[in-house]
Structure 1
Amino acid sequence: MIGRGRTGATFFSSAVLAGTLAFALYARATQTAPGQERYDLSARFVSANGLARGADVALAGVPVGRVSSVTLDPTSQMAIVKFRMNTELKIPDDSTLTIGSSTLSSDNALIIEPGHSRAMAAPGTVLTHTLEPSSLEQQVSNYIFGGGNLDQ
């Protein structure tokens, strides 16, 4: 009778571990597309309000990467946003980055506006052309008083 109880506990524990492993593999697979290589970049912001790890990195409204971390530099007291971009996409090193959303109902993303430089940002580059994120109130105000354009 005692051996039967241990067998059941062992089976149940194994099932829980298998379920956890399956979920971890699923979560990892949804973070990157199969066979898609990425490279690391980072940016400095006065404020990274509303941006979280795992947020999309968008270029022309298309997700092209993910935010890997948002930390505070204790020396400069600026937010450091590290992100990963798809390797096939190279952005000019004078590109402008901002935090926002394309609609009032979507989550915040790191938005890239390509610059005009011929030099491309190499892996590990810290991009410094950044704009402060606008608050929800500012976005609504821009929409109401700016003729409906949320990108102001």
Structure 2
Amino acid sequence: MARNRQTGTTVFSFGVLAAAIGFAVYAHGTQTSFGVSRYPLSANFVSANGLNAGAAVDIGGVSVGRVSDVRLDLQTQMAVVRFEVNDTLHFPVDSVLSVGSTTMSGDNALMIEPGKSSQLTKAGDVLTNTREPLSLEQQVSNYIFGNGGLPVN
């Protein structure tokens, strides 16, 4: 009887360990794309409020990378956002980067609006054409009215 209990405990322990490993692999998989090479970029923001490491990097509503780090530059007092994008994607260096969400219920993402420059991004570039995160009121307005009634440039 004691031997059966010890065997049951051992089997249960291995089951818990397997479940924990499975969850760790799943969690890692949501933060990376297996088999997809990425290259690093960074951007300086006046505020990166609501953006966290692991957030998606989106172009046109399509996830093309991940935010790897958000920290404060003590010299400039600006938020430095480090991120990686798919290696097959190089976009104009004058692209506009902003922090926001494509839906009201979604997590914040680093959103890229492609620019028009003929010079494309490469590994290690620091992008400077950034916008501050939109207020909740502006996000609601954008959600309801498209661009919030603002003139399009």
| TM-score under structure 2 length normalisation | 0.83
Matching residue of 1:75: 75
For residues 149 and 81 of structure 2, what CA distance do their matches in structure 1 show? 21
**Does residue 1:104 correspond to 2:104, yes or no?**
yes
Q: Which moved more, 1:77-86 or 1:18-27?
A: 18-27
- Give the fraction of aligned pairs with identical amino acids, expressed as a percent: 57
What 5-or-longer segments of structure 1 have no aligned partner?
A: none
1:104 offset after TM fit, Å? 2.3
What one-letter code is carried by the residue in structure 1 that aligns with 2:17? L
For residues 150 and 107 of structure 1, what CA distance do their matches in structure 2 show? 20
Q: Deviations over 1:72-110 (max 9, x none)?
A: 111211111111101111011221101112232322111
For residues 113 and 148 of structure 1, what CA distance do their matches in structure 2 show? 16
Contact 1:103 1:150 in 2 (8 A): no
1:46 offset after TM fit, Å? 0.5
For residues 151 and 15 of structure 1, what CA distance do their matches in structure 2 show? 56
Contact 1:96 1:113 in 2 (8 A): yes
Matching residue of 1:46: 46
Matching residue of 2:136: 136
User: Which of 136, 147, 150 is equivalent to 1:149?
Assistant: 147
1:68 offset after TM fit, Å? 1.2
What 5-or-longer segments of structure 2 have no aligned partner?
A: none
What one-letter code is carried by the residue in structure 2 that aligns with 1:149? N
Matched residues, number: 150
Q: How does 1:1-150 map to 2 (within 5 A)?
A: 9-141=9-141, 147-150=145-148
Contact 1:104 1:136 in 2 (8 A): no
RMSD (CA atoms): 2.4
Q: Deviations over 1:36-74 (max 9, x none)?
A: 111111111010011112211111121111111111111
